[in-house]
Structure 1
Amino acid sequence: MRFKKLDLNLLVALDTLLTEQSITKGAEKLNMSPSALSNSLSRLRDYFEDDLLTQIGRKMVITPLGESLKVNVRNALNNIESTILVQPSFDPQTTDRIFSLFCSDYTQTVLAPHALELIGKQKSSARFQFLAQVENPHEQLERGQADLLVIPEGFTSNEHPKEVLYEEEFVCVVWQHSEIAKGELTKEKYAEVGHVLMRPWGIKKDFFETTLVQKYGIKRRLTATTFSFTSLPALVIGSENIATIHVRLAQKMAKVWPLKILPLPFDIPPMKQCIQWHQYRNNDEGLIWLRNILKEATTNMDIE
Structure 2
Amino acid sequence: MRFNKLDLNLLVALDALLSERSISRAAERVHLSQSAMSNALARLREYFDDELLVQVGRKMEPTPRAESLTDAVRDVLVRVEATISTQPAFVPAGSTREFRLLVSDYTMTTLMPHVLARVYALAPNIRIHLRPQVAHPERALERADADLLIIPHEYCSTEHPAQTLLEEQFCCVLWNESPLAEAPLTREAYLGAGHVVVLPGMGQPALEDWFVQRLGVSRRVEVTTYSFAASTQLVVGTQRIATVHRRLAMQARRHEPIVMRDVPLHMPVMHQTIQWHKHRTADAGLAWLRTQLLEAVAQMDQATLRV
**TM bracket, shorter-chain basis:** over 0.9
Q: Quick check: 1:209–1:219 contact (8 Å CA) kept in 2?
A: no
Query: Would the aligned equivalents of 1:96 and 1:126 in 2 still touch at CA under 8 Å?
Result: yes
What is the aligned partner in structure 2 of residue 7 from structure 1?
A: 7
Q: Look up the match of 2:125.
A: 125
Taking structure 1 as the reference length, what is the TM-score of the superposition?
0.96
Paired residue secondary structure (1:184): coil
State the match for 2:293 in structure 1: 294
TM-score (norm 2): 0.95
Aligned equivalent of 2:257: 258
CA positional deviation for 1:200: 2.4
Partner of 2:45: 45
Distance 1:104-1:90 versus aligned 2 partners, 3 A rule? same
Aligned residues of 2:168 and 2:271 also touching (Cα < 8 A): yes
**Corresponding residue of 1:93:** 93
3-state SS of paired residue (2:93): coil
Identify the residue that residue 163 of structure 1 maps to in structure 2: 163
Aligned residue in 1 for 2:245:
246
1:187 CA drift (Å): 1.7
Structure 1 residue aligned with 2:284: 285
Q: Give the conservation status (yes or no) of the 8 Å contact 1:201–1:227.
A: yes
Q: Give the 3 Å change call, closer, same or farther, for CA 62–209 of structure 1 in structure 2.
A: same
Greater CA deviation, 182-191 or 225-234?
Answer: 182-191
> Residues of 2 paired with 1:197 and 1:302: CA distance?
25
Whether the 8 Å contact between 2:211 and 2:268 is mirrored in structure 1 is no
Q: Which residue of 2 aligns with 1:77?
A: 77
Higher mean alpha-carbon deviation, 225-234 vs 186-195, is at: 186-195
Counterpart in the other structure of 1:226: 225
Supply the AA of the counterpart residue of 1:113.
P
Q: Which amino acid aligns with 2:135?
A: E
Residue pairs, 1:141-152, within 5 angstroms:
141-152=141-152
Secondary structure in structure 1 of the residue aligned to 2:51: coil
Cα deviation, residue 201, structure 1: 2.6
**1:211-253, Cα deviation, whole Å (9 max, x unpaired):** 32332x3111111211111000111110111111000000000
2:88 and 2:233 map into 1 onto residues whose CA distance is: 47
Aligned Cα RMSD in Å?
1.3
The alpha carbon displacement at 1:103 in A equals 0.7
Deviation per residue, 1:139-195 (Å, 9 max, x gap): 100000000001100010001000111110000001000111112212222122111
Gaps of 5+ in 2: none
* Residue-pair matches, total: 303
Check the 8 A contact 1:27/1:33 in 2, yes or no.
yes
Contact 2:170 2:208 in 1 (8 A): no
Counterpart of 2:229, as a letter, is: T
CA contact (8 A) 1:79 1:280 kept: yes
Question: 1:245-285 deviations in whole A, cap 9, x for unaligned?
Answer: 00000000000100010110011110001000001001111
Q: Structure 1 residues 202, 126: closer, same or farther in 2, change over 3 A? A: closer
